[in-house]
A and B are shown apart, each in its own frame.
Chain A
Amino acid sequence: MMVRERGNPPRRTILAIASGKGGTGKTTVAAHLAVTASRTMRTLLVDLDVEAPDAVGYFPGAVGTGDDEAVTVLVPSAVGDRCTGCGACAKACRFGAIVAIRDVVTIDARVCKGCGRCVALCPAGVLVEAPVPVGSVRSFSADGGLDIVEGRMHVGDIRATAVIEAAKRAASRLDAPIQIRDCPPGVTCPTVHAVEGADYVVLVAEPTAFSLHDLDAALSMVRDAGIPAGVIVNKQGFGTADIEGLCVKRGVPVIGRIAFLHTRARAGAAARLWTDDPELSAVLDGALSAALDASTMARPRTAS
Chain B
Amino acid sequence: MTTVGVASGKGGAGKTSLAAALAAALAGAGGAPCVVADCDVDAANGAIALGAIVRERKAYFAGPGYRIDADACIRCGLCERACRFDAIRAAGTSARVIVPGLCERCGACVDVCPANAILTYQKQAGELFVSDTRLGIPLAHAELVPGEDTSGKMVRAVRERAVALASGDTVVVVDCPPGIGCPVIASLSGCDLVLVVVEAGASGIRDAERLLELIKSMDRKAVAVINKTGLDPLMDARARSMLAEAGIPSIGEIPFDVALRSMEEAGKTWLSATGSAGRSIAAVLSACIDALNIPPRPGSGTAEQRKENP
Which of A's residues lie within 8 Å of B, judged by CB? 2-3, 5-7, 20-24, 27, 49, 51-52, 54, 57, 74, 92, 94-95, 113-117, 120-121, 153, 155-158, 160-161, 165, 184-193, 195-196, 208-210, 213-214, 217-218, 220-221, 224-225, 238-241, 260, 262, 265-266, 268-271
Q: Which B residues are CB-close (under 8 A) to A210?
A: 16, 43, 45, 48-49, 264
Given A188-B150, A189-B151, A270-B234, A23 and B11 contact (CB-CB distance below 8 Å): yes
The residue from A24, A160, A196, A213 contacting B101, defined by CB atoms under 8 A apart: A196
Closest residue of chain A to B262, judged by CB?
A239
Q: List chain A residues, Cβ under 8 A from B63.
A: 94
Q: Given the interface contacts A121-B111, A156-B217, A210-B16, does A196 sit within 8 Å of B105 by beta carbon? A: no
Give the nearest-CB partner of B43 in chain A.
Answer: A214
Q: Which residues of B contact A116 (CB under 8 A)?
A: 82, 84, 108
1/0 per residue, CB under 8 A from A, across B254-278: the answer is 0010100110110000000000000
- Contact partner of B179 among A2, A52, A213, A239, CB < 8 A? A52
- Of B26-34, B207-215, B289-297, the one contacting chain A is B207-215
- Please give, as numbers and ranges, the residues of chain B lying within 8 Å of A94 by CB-CB distance: 63, 105-107
A117 to B106, CA, bound (A): 7
CB contacts (< 8 Å) of A6 on chain B: these are 89
Q: How far is the CA of A5 from the CA of B228 in the complex (A)?
A: 46
Task: Give residues of chain B (177-234) contacting chain A, Cβ–Cβ below 8 Å.
Answer: 177-182, 184-185, 199-203, 206-207, 210, 213-214, 217, 228, 231-232, 234
Which residue on chain B has the smallest CB distance to residue A121?
B111
Smallest Cβ distance from B88 to chain A, in angstroms? 10
Q: Which residue of B lies closest to A116 (CB)?
A: B84
In the assembled complex, the CB of A234 is this many whole angstroms from the nearest CB of chain B, namely 11
B169 touches A (CB below 8 Å)? no
Q: In the complex the two chains form, what is the Cα distance from A71 to B231 in whole Å?
A: 37
- In the complex, what residues of A have CB within 8 A of residue B265's CB? 208-209, 239-241
With CB as the reference atom, state the residue of chain B lying closest to A217. Answer: B146
Kindly provide the distance from the CB of A77 to the nearest chain B CB, expressed in whole angstroms. 17
Instruction: Tell me, yes or no, whether B5 is within 8 Å of chain A by CB.
Output: no
Q: Is B79 an interface residue (CB 8 A)?
A: no
CA–CA, A196 and B101, complex, Å: 7
Nearest chain A CB to B201 CB, angstrom units: 4
Tell me whether A95 and B106 are in contact (CB under 8 A). Answer: yes
Which residues in B have their C-beta under 8 angstroms from that of A220? Answer: 146-147
Per-residue CB proximity of B142-166 to A under 8 Å, as 1/0? 0010111111100000000000000
Contact B104 A115 (CB under 8 A): yes
Contacts of B210 in A (CB 8 A): 51-52, 155
Nearest CB in chain A to that of B229: its residue:
A269
Contacting pair A269 B228 (CB below 8 A): yes
The answer to whether residues A155 and B214 also contact, given A23-B13, A239-B265 and a CB cut-off of 8 A, is yes
Bound-complex Cα distance A2 to B100 (A): 10
Q: Is the CB of A158 within 8 A of B147?
A: no
The answer to whether A5 and B206 touch across the interface, beta carbons within 8 angstroms, is no
Contacts of B201 in A (CB 8 A): 268-271
Interface residues of B (CB under 8 A from A): 9-13, 16, 41-45, 48-49, 63, 82, 84-86, 89-92, 97, 99, 101-102, 104-108, 111-112, 144, 146-152, 177-182, 184-185, 199-203, 206-207, 210, 213-214, 217, 228, 231-232, 234-235, 256, 258, 261-262, 264-265
B residues less than 8 Å from A23 (CB atoms) = 10-13, 178, 199
User: In the complex where A193-B102, A208-B264 touch, is A270 in contact with B235 (Cβ < 8 A)?
Assistant: yes
From A117, A120, A221, residue with most partner B Cβ within 10 Å? A117
CB distance from B260 to the nearest CB of A (A): 10
The answer for the CA separation of A190 and B147 in the assembled complex, in Å, is 10
Residues of B within 8 A of A92 (CB): 107, 111
Looking at the complex, which one of A51, A74, A213, A265 makes contact with B181 (CB distance below 8 Å)?
A51
Contacts of B203 in A (CB 8 A): 27, 52, 54, 57, 271
Residue of B nearest to A4 (CB): B89
Picked from B43, B104, B182, the residue with its CB within 8 Å of the CB of A217 is B43
The contact of A54 among B85, B107, B185, B206, by CB within 8 Å, is B206
Contact B11 A22 (CB under 8 A): yes
The residue from B149, B184, B256 contacting A189, defined by CB atoms under 8 A apart:
B149
* Set of chain B residues within 8 Å of A271, measured between Cβ atoms: 201-203
